[in-house]
Structure 1
Amino acid sequence: MFSLIKYILFLFPLIFSFFKAKDHREYIIRGYAQGTDYSVKYYATDSIVTKYAVDSILSVIDSSMSLYKPYSNINRFNESSEGLDLDPHFTAVMRKSFTVYKATKGKFDVTVAPLVQAWGFGPKRIDKFPDSAAVKELLNCVGMDQLRLKGSRLTKSKPCINVDLNGIAQGYSVDVVADHLIKKGLTSFVVEIGGELRMKGPKPDGSGMRIGIEGPALTANGEPVIRHVISINSGAITTAGNYRKYLQKGAKKIAHLIDPKKGYPLDNALISVTIYAKDAVTADGYDSPIMAMDVNEALDFVASKKGMEAYIIYHKKDGSVADTLTKGFKKMIVE
C-alpha cells in the first residue's frame, strides 16, 4: 500500500504537467517600436496580454527616451541649458547608467550622443565624417562626470551635454514588458525587442526556452548565422556587435559603437559580445562597454559580476575569427 501511494505521488506531477501543457496554448504578439521589430510569446489558457497593452507600454517609454520623438523627455533634456525633472522611466535608466559607467570606468557613457551623431549614427544625416579637430572639440561635451542625478532631477554642467540611451533603454523596455507579463500571472514567456530578450519558463510541457545565438557570416558577403542554441528558464540575453550596423569609409567599415574617451568608433579585436544576466537592462548596459575591452579583460570583467555570463566572438592576430565563452554560458548551450 505504501509503495502504491509513493507511485501515485510520483505520477501526480507528471499527470498534472500533461494536462497543464494541454490547457495552455502559445500566444504571439508582434509589432514595431523603438525603430525595430518586437515580439512577445507567452503560454496561457487565454489571451491575457494584448498587443494594445504592449504598444501602450512601449509608446510611453518612447515618449520618455526616444531621440526620434521630437517631444520626448530626452530631447527636452538635451535642448535644456541646465537640466530637467525626469519621468520614472528616464530616472530608472539614468540610475542604472551611472552604475554601469562607474563599473566600466567610463567605457559606458550616455553623454556620447554628440559623437554618435557626428559619426553618422544619430537621428540626423551627415555629409562627412569628423576630422581630429572636430572630435577633440566634441569630447569637451562628453563625460558622465558632467551629469548629476539627485532624486529625479538630472542636471548638466554645460548646455552642450546631450544624452543618448540607445545602449541601455531597449533592455530596460524588455524588462518593463516582461514585468507586465509577470504581474498578469504569466510564468512562461519570451519578450524580444530588436534582438534583446528576456524569458521566463519552463514551457508548460516542462522543456526549457531555446534561444539562437547569432554571429557574423562565415563568408565575406554572407548573412549572419546562428552559432549556438542555448536553453534557459529565466534571465536575459542581449548582444552587441559591429558586424551588422556600420558605415563605409572607402574600404574601411565604421562601427556604430563609439569609444567615449577617444571619440572614435571602436576598432579592436572583438566582433560581438553576447551577455546573459538576470535582467535585460543589466545585460544591455554591459554588452557595449565590454565590446571596448580586449578578450582577456572582457572575460575577467564578466567573471567579477555575479550572475553574468558571456559569449565572445573576436578576431585573432592572424585575422581569423575565433570565439570564447564563460563556463556558465557553456552550460547553457544545447546545440
Structure 2
Amino acid sequence: MLQVMPGVNKIFAFFVPLLAFVFFEKKDQRQYTIHGYAQGTDYTVKYFATDSIVTKGEVDSILMVIDSSMSLYKPYSSINQFNASAKGMRIDRHFANVMTKSFEIYRSTQGRFDVTVKPLVQLWGFGVKPVERFPDSMMVSAVLKCVGMRFLSLKGNVLKKERPCVQIDLNGIAQGYSVDVVAEHLNLKGIKAYVVEIGGELRMKGPKPDGTSLRIGIEGPSESPDAEPAIRHTLAINNGAITTSGNYRRFLQMGKKRISHLIDPKSGYPLSNSLISVTVYSRDAITADGYDNAIMAMNIDEAMAFVSAKKNMEAYIIYHRKDGSIADTLTKGFKQLIVN
C-alpha cells in the first residue's frame, strides 16, 4: 500500500508555509479574525474595521460557491461534470477565470504548467482515489495520450476538449484564486488592512492602522531530513500575495522509495530535480499560485532567469546543491521584502 505523507488530504495547494501575521489596534478600529475550514484545509481572515462588516458566513458562502465549481472532491462540481463530458461544456465565471489564467501560464512556461494532469495525478496516487502501487512506463505512456492543454480551447465561457479522455485538475491554481476572491470581497467592503490565508496561500493589504507593514514568516526545510521545517525569513509586505510550492511536505512513500506530488506533464513522472521549494510574490494570489508549481519544474538557473524576466514577480528558492547540501537564493526584489 502506498502511504501519503502527511496524512491530511487537501483539495488545492499541498505545501503549506508557516505564516505569522500580527495586527496592532488603533483608535476607532479593532482587529477581527475569522477562522474556518474549506477546500480541504483551514483558512484565516484577519482585518481591521470599526465593526464586523465581514462575517464567517459570507466567507464560507464565497468558498462554497468556488468549491461547487472547481473541487474534485464534490461529485456535483462543474469540474467533475466537465471531466465526465465527451466534448466539453459551458462553465461558470469562476471556472472560466481560472482557465483563462491557466492558459496564460501554460503558454508562458512552455507547458510546464498544465491543468490536464488529472489522469497522471491519479495514476501516481495523489488523486481522489487511493492506489496500491506505482505505475510502470507503459501505464504512464498510455495516460500521456490524454494530457496536454493543446487539447483544450476556451471561447467565452465554453470550454471544449478534443479528446474525451482529457481531464483537468485545478489544484495548482484554484486556491490562489479563492484567496483573491475573498480579498476582493474585503476590498468592496472598504477594508484597508487585511490578510487572507487559505491553506498557506495568502494575500495582504496594508499598512496596519498604526502605520507599520504586515509581516509573515516563510519556512523552509532544515538541513537534517528528520528535523521540522524552520522559519527562514520574515517579510514585510503592504500589498500583494505570497504562495509556496514544495516537495518536502507532500509525498508518497512505498518502502524506502519516496516521490513528490508534483508531476511533470511532459514526462508523466514526478519531478526529481534540485528544487525543494519555491515561494513567489506577486500582485495577486492566482498568479503566484499558478507560477510557483511551474517554476518547481525548472532547474535553479532556469528558475532564477525566468522570474527575473517577469514584471511584478519575485521569488525565493530553496534547492539542493550538487553535493546534496541545501542552499537558497532569491531575486533582488524579494530580498527587499525581508526584514531582520
TM-score, with normalisation over the residues of structure 1? 0.93
Structure with higher Rg: it is 1
How far 1:129 moved relative to its partner? 1.0
- Deviations along 1:171-215, whole A, 9 cap, x unmatched? 000000000000000010000000000000000000100011111
SS class of match (1:23): coil
Partner of 2:120: 115
Residue 327 of structure 2 corresponds to residue 322 of structure 1:
yes
Aligned-partner residue type, residue 58 of structure 1 = L
CA distance in 2 between counterparts of 1:186 and 1:218 reads 41
Task: Report 1:50-129 matches (<5 A).
Answer: 50-129=55-134
Aligned equivalents of 1:249, 1:136: Cα separation in 2: 22
Equivalent residue, structure 2, for 1:236:
241
Which residue identity lines up with residue 222 of structure 1 in the other structure? A
Match of 2:288 in 1: 283
Q: RMSD of aligned C-alpha atoms?
A: 0.8
Q: CA deviation at 1:219?
A: 2.1
| Runs of at least 4 residues off by over 3 Å | none
Select the structure with the greater relative contact order (CA < 8 A; seq sep ≥ 6).
Answer: 2
Question: Is 1:185 matched with 2:190?
Answer: yes
Q: Deviations over 1:232-285 (max 9, x none)?
A: 100000000000000113323210000000000000000000000000000000
Q: Which of the numbers 244, 256, 259 marks the counterpart of 1:251?
A: 256
Q: Secondary structure at the match of 2:129?
A: coil
Query: What is the alpha-carbon distance in structure 2 between the residues aligned to residue 220 and residue 154 of structure 1?
Result: 43
User: Is the Cα–Cα contact under 8 Å of residues 142 and 161 in structure 1 kept in the other structure?
Assistant: yes
Of 143, 148, 154, the residue aligned with 1:149 is: 154
**Equivalent of residue 178 in structure 2, options 166, 173, 181:** 173
The letter of the residue matching 2:250 is K
Between the aligned partners of 1:108 and 1:152, the Cα distance in structure 2 is 21
For residue 339 of structure 2, give the secondary structure of its aligned residue in structure 1. coil
* 3-state DSSP of counterpart to 2:208: coil
Q: For the residues of structure 2 that align with 1:304 and 1:113, how far apart are their CA atoms?
A: 30
* Inter-partner Cα distance in structure 2 for 1:220 and 1:73: 40
Q: TM-score, normalised by structure 2?
A: 0.92
Match in the other structure for 1:132: 137
Look up the match of 1:218. Answer: 223
Matched residue, 1:270: 275
- SS of the equivalent of 1:136 reads helix
Give the AA of the match of 2:316: Y
SS of 2:52's equivalent in the other structure is: coil
**Aligned counterpart for 2:28 among listed residues 18, 23, 26:** 23
- Deviation string, structure 1 residues 32-69 (Cα, Å, up to 9, x no partner): 00011100000111111000000000000000000000
How many percent identity over aligned positions?
67
The structure with more helix, counted as a fraction of residues: 1
Is residue 218–residue 225 contact of structure 1 (8 Å, CA) maintained in 2? no
CA distance in structure 2 between the aligned counterparts of 1:318 and 1:252, rounded to whole angstroms: 20
Provide the residue aligned with 1:293 in structure 2: 298
